[in-house]
Amino acid sequence: MLATACSGGAATKDSGAKPGSGTEAAPAASSTPTPAAPVIKISPADGGKSVRPNKKVVVTAAGAALEEVVVKSGDQPLSGDFDAERTRWVSSTPMIPASDYTVSARAVDGTTATSSFRTLKPERELQVTDVTPAVKGEKVGVGAPIIVTFNQQITAKAGKAAVERALEVTSEKPAQGAWRWINDTTVIYRTAKFWQPHQKVTFTARLKGVQGGKDMYGTKNTTKVIRIGPAQIATIDTRKHKMIVKRDGKVVQTMLISAGNASTREYTTTSGVHLAMGKSNPERMISPGRKKGDPGYYDLMINHAVRFSNSGEYVHALNNVWAQGRRNVSHGCINSRPDQARWYYNQVQRGDVITIKGTDREMEWNNGWGFWQLPFKQWKKGSAIG
């Protein structure tokens, strides 16, 4: 009788191989598939033309982590960041317009990929044309703004926001500040409180590749160093006819003055926080809105004039000693004894604070550099990015 398999078991078939017979059983086939080679993808693709400078360069890897990504235009690298798994790299700064770029990527297993492309040449090139006050060797006052002017009109809020994000202000002594757009070509930086004196402030505009508008891209970066001098603050009381100048908190000069006679609004000195905007010796002063022969007409050359508004106000010299310290008789300016006016003229820095009180005409925030007339909370509302 033949033997049967145990109940519930599967029957097996004798392979016929006998030990020592010289015939071995074939090994069982592996159930683990061979790993696919990593795939690296690069955007923009190889051969791309007229790539937007603000387009992100993206490198992704499937099947392995990225070991290295290098993006360059000539010898200028483009910075970027990996994700946590190092399977994706994204550029973090715009590219240079009208430039050739190469991308080289390598995975940890040695797989590589490359791409070459060219960025577009903008129809309109955006650049900084002026930074005020930023004259080499000049020291400025603690109230100084940073006024930046561009060569193109930036009309859209998105363009203003992109440009504003490319502007950086760093100071040796930290300060809070904000930008405010006053028109389509000018943006102004003002601190929340006066700068701390005796320090260096660096302004940088990283405009390369930044899109300011349709077919408009930044083509040049700009850096300016601004040096803050001593804290020189002049306080003028038009009712007491006196101007007190402090330097770093100490009184260095007391001047007897005569202010505007207030017979008209035009002849009323403005109250508020002003800044010294510039100076001239002499300065020609002509009565606004009047011609020769009209009542109140004047055309004078005035010495040691320090300007503090766009409405024709100065601290200046005048041999008017009979009125100084006693009466306000000027056309709106602050006049003082010639020797004291000369002293102030020689000491003053652009951006020095001139605070005036005692009149019923308030300084407008946009009258010259009257920016401190706005509370900082309101000033910030002029920013394109909040």
Active site residues: 316, 333
Q: Which two tokens stand for residue 37?
A: 């080679």
What's CA 10's distance to the chain center, in Å? Answer: 80
Q: What sections of 230-271 are H helices per DSSP?
A: none
- Residues sharing a CB contact under 8 Å with residue 58, sequence separation 6 or more, in sequence order: 42, 43, 88, 89, 90, 91
Is there a contact between 190 and 180 (Cβ–Cβ < 8 Å)? yes
- Residues sharing a CB contact under 8 Å with residue 322, sequence separation 6 or more, in sequence order: none
Side-chain-side CA neighbours of 340 within 13 Å: the count stands at 21
What's CA 305's distance to the chain center, in Å? Answer: 32
Q: What sections of the chain are H helices per DSSP?
A: 157-165, 338-347, 376-379
Residue type, 342: R
Alpha-carbon distance 245 to 253, whole Å?
5
Closest CA to 232 of 205, 207, 284, 195: 195
- Residue 351 DSSP code: T
Q: Give the SS3 label for residue 275.
A: strand
Closest CA to 115 of 67, 63, 43, 62: 43
Q: Are strands 88-91 and 80-82 parallel, antiparallel or unpaired?
A: antiparallel
Side-chain-side CA neighbours of 94 within 13 Å: the count stands at 26
Torsion angles phi and psi, residue 193, rounded to 5: -125, 165
Alpha-carbon distance 337 to 204, whole Å?
42
Alpha-carbon distance 233 to 144, whole Å?
12
Alpha-carbon distance 374 to 367, whole Å?
12
